[in-house]
Amino acid sequence: MTENKLMQQVMAIFSIFMVFFYLGIGTYLTFFSDFSYLDRAVRVLMGSTFIFYGLYRAYRAYVKIAEVFFTKDDAND
């Protein structure tokens, strides 16, 4: 049972890195993009989608970290 909890903790930490990735890509596409071959409206649409998905992942990561790290494990089998 501890291996499963350890894997859940590793995946929770990895999800935080993915949150920063999505927010970073979204911010870059929306505000600092050098992709001149893409229309500005497309860049803003894609960037805002990445930002909103990053915020959703941040919420899910917060819930998962609270569940995995801060709940008492009663399974002492």
Query: Residue 57 belongs to what domain range?
Result: 2-70
Has residue 35 been placed in a domain? yes
- pLDDT (tens, 9 = 90+) of the chain, 77 residues, equals 577 889 999 999 999 999 999 999 999 999 987 878 889 999 999 999 999 999 999 999 999 999 999 887 665 54
DSSP secondary structure letter of residue 39: -
Provide the b/e sequence for 15-24 (b: ≥16 CB within 10 Å): beeebeebbe
Total structural domains within the chain = 1
Model pLDDT, residue 74: 64
Q: How many CA atoms lie within 13 A of 38 on its CB side?
A: 14
Answer yes or no: are the C-beta atoms of 76 and 49 closer than 8 Å: no
Model pLDDT, residue 12: 93
Q: Which residue has the tokens 């920063």?
A: 20
Query: What is the reported pTM?
Result: 0.83
Model pLDDT, residue 77: 45
Has residue 19 been placed in a domain? yes
